[in-house]
Amino acid sequence: MAASLAPTRWADLDRLLLRPGNLVGPGFEPGPELLESLQNDLRVLVIGAGGLGCELLKDLALSGFGHIDVIDMDTIDVSNLNRQFLFRMQDVGKPKAEVAAERVMQRVKGVTVVPHFCRIEEKDVSFYQDFHIIVLGLDSLEARSYINSVVCGFLEYEEDGSPDQSTIKPLVDGGTEGFKGHARVIFPGITPCFHCSLWLFPPQITFPLCTLAETPRSPAHCIEYAHLIQWGQDRQGESFDADNPEHMKWIYDQAVKRGEQFNISGITYSLTQGVVKNIVPAIASTNAIVAATCALETLKIATMCSTGMEVYMQYTGTEGIYMRTVPHDKDPNCIMCSPGVPVEVDTTCTLQKFIDQLLKDSRFKLKLSKPSVSYHGDNLYMQAPPVLEEMTRPNLELSLLTLMDGKTSGVLNINDRRLTGVLRVRVTFKEGLDSVDMDTAGGG
Amino acid sequence: MDPSTELLTEQEAAVYDRQIRVWGVDAQRKLSKARVLVVGMSGVVAETCKNIVLAGIGSLTLVDDSPVTDEASAANFLVQFDDSEGQGITLAEVCAASLRDYNPMVQVKAEAGSIQSKPDSFFGNFDAIILGRSSVSLKKHVNELCRKQTHRIAFYTVDVRGTCGSLFVDLRTHSYTSKRAKDDKDVQLELSYPSFEESLGVRWSSMPKRTSKLLFALRCLEDFEETEGRQPGHVSSQDLPALLAFWKKACEAQTVAESLVPEALLQKLLRAGSTELPPVCAILGGIVGQELIKAMSCKGEPLSNYFFFDAGDGKGIIEKVAPNT
């Protein structure tokens, strides 16, 4: 049945890009001075040299950015070649970051791309401080979470609760799967950070063990049964290696048998690999579109410092083209980027009593075990290393109010090995709280 | 292992694994038979070529005899910067060499000679034709030739001017499968497309008020270039008075108000001249790439029939411009 020919409707694509903020100049026309600043002064870090990373490096280099660093811990695999166009068949096995850097510098005159072949956690936090903008081409929630916590850790707040602009490090984040993708901008302290908006990400697929064991219904159930349960039983002592074809074939064969047992069809070797290795389907064009969106945002940030944005773009290319943006607010109590989780403290409270209070507070109980406390970069009490612990131990007996310069309220940074990043606590001093039961004095 | 993947070579199955998981083996096979012609190696066309070569089309023929210059390579990643030393090699040849590197399984060739010099029969060798920045008359001419062929040739024109991109699609009559939302089942659908000339014939006054202003602005600009005998893109801010006069006449002929398009937009396009902002090329290139994949694989609803994008205000819009039956 032919669709109507009448020009009655149009598909309005909501912004592909984030709308420029109120601070923005009339357009996108970087003048010579701006271009010079892009080429010489600005430093951008691209995290990931895969599907998005390759596209990002190309777009940023061609857009005039002169100093780009790229970090990626992976080596090149043959299945990358359908979209990671900087790599060739003979590059398989080599570090992605290094090959990508070399190829971009070959192609674009005057750009310097510095590769880092390592995990993002291996870099000292100060490494990330050196960049003006950080652009993410990552493929996991954990990696995004980590960078988010690092960048939010740089964030300082003024006394009035507003963010100190000089400590805001913008993040541009892109992600893709098949025909779908997203791009977003994070200005810690202003827009929602990654942690504030975890709900935006679809739930990770995990199967309850009882389903796998008793009531499988899908091919994936059969595969995961073989992978997570049967392997341990039938091939005891052998550690499962997803890159070993014999191991994968074993899983596949067992999964097929289980499928026959429960009348489930559709188990293929390709699906087996996909489920076991958590393979994300990927194509070049989606990566191109999402990366370019991120590059445009990076260009805007670099040249116009706009901050008033509707910050999340979602893209689906399967049926027609669909893009929408989702404006949302940051979580005022976000443990990563907020002005600080509010805590009321008695004016006579010592640092030791404060730490005791935190540990009893139901909001922090599971997140803290041995908290270290710092104030505006000064270590008030450090649990480790022993030398620092000994040095800061005397502070425990001092009045917290005095340690915080006598101000009626301020933000403390709490570090703890149980936390992935800094926990910000906004302390407000009140008189006469001592007589109140400690367990309820947390407030909030 | 899987009977379906035996239809692909081992190398195809390995390299294309991640995309086969998106569109399936059958679509990949159809893609591998597609013969594509592109004309005019601008930045956005280069991006499109990258995407369709990586996807594994059958063959790609490039037509562009122009020399390799710094300007030509500014937004074109297929050109290595030291190629601009003027060695008598054409833009098509340089781009073809890079593209072969991206995917040795695709037959990529540079075809010498201007597109205007090709006989009508030349166009019959292709399943899809993509025109980069070109004059209105060339677009009409090639579109007509495509429609004259007995087999369907998917026709695209794409252009980026500064921060603005535009795309026109003509798939004649296109049958495709689509997943029905309610039960995830595949359904067979059909779309009919107007020709380029037919879409040009739609009166502006009949189009909805919210129609993208870029549509009218670009139409006016392209008509201006054609009338003035300019090579497409060879305009500048100095042309503003003449373009405004041209716009006024066009609005009178189309019985629409001059305020339909703000002067600022016309100014922006003139100022852009022949430049292309690289990320905009990548976005349009991604979209054209994807559209071509849908058309060749007959899977998924293709866009109909115009797409406009402006990085400056962040808007991307699909417009259907077709005559009433």
**pLDDT tens sequence across B39-97:** 999 999 999 999 999 999 999 999 999 999 888 888 999 998 676 555 789 999 999 99
- Best of A62, A78, A280, A324 to disrupt the B interface by mutation (most B CBs within 10 Å)? A62
Cα distance from B304 to chain A (closest Cα, Å)? 8
Q: Is residue B311 located within the same domain as residue B166?
A: yes
Closest CA in chain B for residue A287:
B286
Amino acid A208: pLDDT: 79
Q: Are A323 and B102 an interchain contact pair (Cβ–Cβ within 8 Å)?
A: no
Higher pLDDT, A12 or A345: A345
B1 domain-assigned: no
Closest CA in chain A for residue B206:
A7
Q: Are A6 and B5 an interchain contact pair (Cβ–Cβ within 8 Å)?
A: no
Question: What is the DSSP secondary-structure string of A56-81?
Answer: HHHHHHHTT--EEEEE---B--GGGT
DSSP state of B234: -
Residue corresponding to tokens 């993040």: A171
Mean pLDDT of chain B: 92
**Chain B partners of A2 at a C-beta cutoff of 8 Å?**
173, 190-192
- Amino acid, res. A396: L
**Chain B partners of A267 at a C-beta cutoff of 8 Å?**
none
Q: Is residue B17 located within the same domain as residue B120?
A: yes
Q: Is residue B18 located within the same domain as residue B82?
A: yes
Closest CA in chain A for residue B190:
A2
Q: Are A15 and B320 an interchain contact pair (Cβ–Cβ within 8 Å)?
A: no
For chain B, give the percent of residues with pLDDT over 90.
84
Q: Is the pLDDT of residue A40 over 70?
A: yes
**In the structure, what pLDDT confidence band is assigned to residue A19 with cuts at 50, 70 and 90?**
very low
Ramachandran category for residue B273: left, alpha or beta (phi over 0 → left; psi -120 to 50 → alpha): left
- Best of A285, A290, A309, A314 to disrupt the B interface by mutation (most B CBs within 10 Å)? A285
- Best of B283, B296, B310 to disrupt the A interface by mutation (most A CBs within 10 Å)? B283
Q: Is residue B237 located within the same domain as residue B142?
A: no
Closest CA in chain A for residue B324:
A6
Cα distance from A272 to chain B (closest Cα, Å)? 11
Q: Are A317 and B290 an interchain contact pair (Cβ–Cβ within 8 Å)?
A: yes
Q: Is the pLDDT of residue B197 over 90?
A: yes
Q: Is the pLDDT of residue B149 over 90?
A: yes
Higher pLDDT, A302 or B231: B231
B166 domain-assigned: yes
Pairing of strands A133-136, A43-47: parallel
Measured CA to CA, the distance from residue A415 to residue A422 in angstroms comes to: 5
Amino acid B17: pLDDT: 93
Q: Is residue B261 located within the same domain as residue B282?
A: no
Cα distance from A221 to chain B (closest Cα, Å)? 19
Q: Are A292 and B279 an interchain contact pair (Cβ–Cβ within 8 Å)?
A: yes
Q: Does domain A209-276 have CATH number 3.40.50.720?
A: no
Question: A162: exposed, middle or buried (C-beta count within 10 Å: 0-12, 13-18, 19+)?
Answer: exposed
Q: Is residue B190 located within the same domain as residue B265?
A: no
**Chain A partners of B57 at a C-beta cutoff of 8 Å?**
none
Higher pLDDT, A206 or A53: A53
- Segment B148-152 shows an average pLDDT of 95
Q: Is residue B141 located within the same domain as residue B257?
A: no
Amino acid A281: pLDDT: 83
**In the structure, what pLDDT confidence band is assigned to residue A17 with cuts at 50, 70 and 90?**
very low
Cα distance from A96 to chain B (closest Cα, Å)? 16
Q: At B111, give phi and psi (nearest 5°).
A: -105, 120
Cα distance from B232 to chain A (closest Cα, Å)? 21
**Among B234, B256, B272, which residue terminates a domain?**
B272
B39 domain-assigned: yes
Nearest by CB to B318, from A10, A15, A58: name it.
A10
Q: Is residue B286 located within the same domain as residue B234?
A: no
Q: Is the pLDDT of residue A4 over 60?
A: no
Instruction: Give yes or no for a contact between A234 and A369, defined as CB atoms under 8 angstroms apart.
Output: no
- Best of A12, A82, A88 to disrupt the B interface by mutation (most B CBs within 10 Å)? A82
Nearest by CB to B15, from A16, A78, A270: name it.
A78
Spans of all domains in chain A: 2-202+282-326, 209-276, 341-440
pTM reported for the whole predicted model: 0.84
Cα distance from A336 to chain B (closest Cα, Å)? 30
**In the structure, what pLDDT confidence band is assigned to residue A304 with cuts at 50, 70 and 90?**
low
Q: Is residue B85 located within the same domain as residue B169?
A: yes
Nearest by CB to B192, from A3, A280, A284: name it.
A3
Q: Is the pLDDT of residue A332 over 80?
A: no
**In the structure, what pLDDT confidence band is assigned to residue B4 with cuts at 50, 70 and 90?**
low
Measured CA to CA, the distance from residue B75 to residue A295 in angstroms comes to: 14
**Chain B partners of A317 at a C-beta cutoff of 8 Å?**
287, 290
Closest CA in chain A for residue B301:
A319
Strands annotated E in A96-179: 112-116, 133-136, 171-177
Q: Is the pLDDT of residue A128 over 60?
A: yes
Lowest mean pLDDT among A111-115, A298-302, B46-50: A298-302
Amino acid A189: pLDDT: 86
Element (H, E) at B59: strand B59-63
**In the structure, what pLDDT confidence band is assigned to residue A155 with cuts at 50, 70 and 90?**
confident
Q: Are B202 and A7 an interchain contact pair (Cβ–Cβ within 8 Å)?
A: yes
Q: Is the pLDDT of residue B159 over 90?
A: yes
Amino acid A326: pLDDT: 61
Nearest by CB to B55, from A3, A178, A283: name it.
A283
pLDDT in tens, B260-300: 999 999 999 999 999 999 999 999 999 999 999 999 999 99
Amino acid A7: pLDDT: 21
Q: Are B315 and A15 an interchain contact pair (Cβ–Cβ within 8 Å)?
A: yes
CATH superfamily of A2-202+282-326: NAD(P)-binding Rossmann-like Domain (3.40.50.720)
Closest CA in chain B for residue A65:
B278
Lowest mean pLDDT among A12-21, A250-259, B206-215: A12-21
- Segment A201-227 shows an average pLDDT of 84
Instruction: Give yes or no for a contact between B1 and B25, defined as CB atoms under 8 angstroms apart.
Output: no
> Whats the size of chain B, residue-wise?
325
Q: Is residue B29 located within the same domain as residue B159?
A: yes
Pairing of strands A133-136, A423-430: unpaired
Fold of domain A341-440: 3.10.290
Number of domains in chain B: 2
At B185, which CATH number?
3.40.50.720
Q: Which domain holds residue B81?
A: 10-199+277-319
Q: Is the pLDDT of residue B7 over 70?
A: yes
Amino acid B258: pLDDT: 95
Higher pLDDT, A4 or A68: A68
Lowest mean pLDDT among A210-224, B156-170, B257-271, B276-290: A210-224
Report residue B153 as tokens. Answer: 């040739």
Cα distance from B260 to chain A (closest Cα, Å)? 17
Q: Is residue B208 located within the same domain as residue B260?
A: yes
Q: Is the pLDDT of residue A47 over 90?
A: yes
- Distance, first Cα to last Cα, chain B: 52
B325 domain-assigned: no
Whether A193 is catalytic is no
ipTM > 0.90 for the complex: yes
Amino acid A16: pLDDT: 24
Q: Is the pLDDT of residue A442 over 50?
A: no
Nearest by CB to B301, from A5, A81, A320: name it.
A320
Closest CA in chain A for residue B172:
A2
Q: Is the pLDDT of residue A120 over 80?
A: yes
**In the structure, what pLDDT confidence band is assigned to residue A314 with cuts at 50, 70 and 90?**
low
Across-strand partners of B35?
A: B59
The one catalytic residue among A54, A210, A222, A349: A210
**In the structure, what pLDDT confidence band is assigned to residue A200 with cuts at 50, 70 and 90?**
low
B324 domain-assigned: no
Mean pLDDT of chain A: 82
B211 domain-assigned: yes
- Best of B4, B5, B77 to disrupt the A interface by mutation (most A CBs within 10 Å)? B77
Nearest by CB to B282, from A15, A179, A292: name it.
A292
Q: Is residue B155 located within the same domain as residue B246?
A: no
Q: Is the pLDDT of residue A435 over 60?
A: no
Q: At what angle do helices B278-297 and B17-31 cross, to 10 degrees?
A: 60
- Segment B174-183 shows an average pLDDT of 86
CA A283 from centre of chain = 22
